[in-house]
Amino acid sequence: MVTIGYARVSTASQSLQAQESHLRASGCEVIYADVMTGSAASRPEWDACRKALRPGDTLAITRLDRMGRSIKHLLEVAESLQEKGVRLRVLEQAIDTSTPQGTLTLHLLSALAQFELSQVSERTRSALAGRARGRKGGRPKALSPKALQRAQELYDSKQMTVKEVARAVGVSEATIYRSITTEAERRKAVAPARH
């Protein structure tokens, strides 16, 4: 029965030293470490770490996000460790699956993950149903076609500043800059392409 540590950083510019020091201080006899993102399908040291674990061993990590790609993935890993008889300790988050509190924390995370998945699924179904009824998603336009035409006319008259045009049609200056077409842009749009 040994304590095995696993550390991971996402890029070579990050240092594993702090994680490894923390793991050693917690009693890890062996430490596996990867330098790659958690979303990578295969992490060689993580794979080796999991193969090395035996029933009765403890896997120590500094934070849950070092172990998996998502809460769902983390919980799958935690469940497979539990089935294998391996204790999981998450040092910075004080999770220890050998205690009832640690197990409860993982179950709460599982419930939250399931809730989030169902929320995403429900929002997706709702958006698809809206699209089927002809509704387009996204934010509504700040300027109606009539207000845009008015803003363009005010801008083209050169009698008002952009700030005054924005105030007149009830939008921000940024919206005016995004929405109106300048004279130079109009000339460019109608100019024949040169070859």
Secondary structure of the chain in HEC code, one letter for each residue: CCEEEEEEECCCCCCCHHHHHHHHHCCCCEEEEEECCCCCCCCHHHHHHHHHCCCCCEEEECCHHHCCCCHHHHHHHHHHHHHHCCEEEECCCCEECCCHHHHHHHHHHHHHHHHHHHHHHHHHHHHHHHHHCCCCCCCCCCCCHHHHHHHHHHHHCCCCCHHHHHHHHCCCHHHHHHHCCCHHHHHHHHCCCCC
Indicate if 10 belongs to the active site: yes
**Distance in angstroms (rounded) separating the CA atoms of residues 125 and 117:** 12
Options 10, 98, 121, 144, the catalytic residue: 10
Q: Name the residues annotated as catalytic.
A: 10
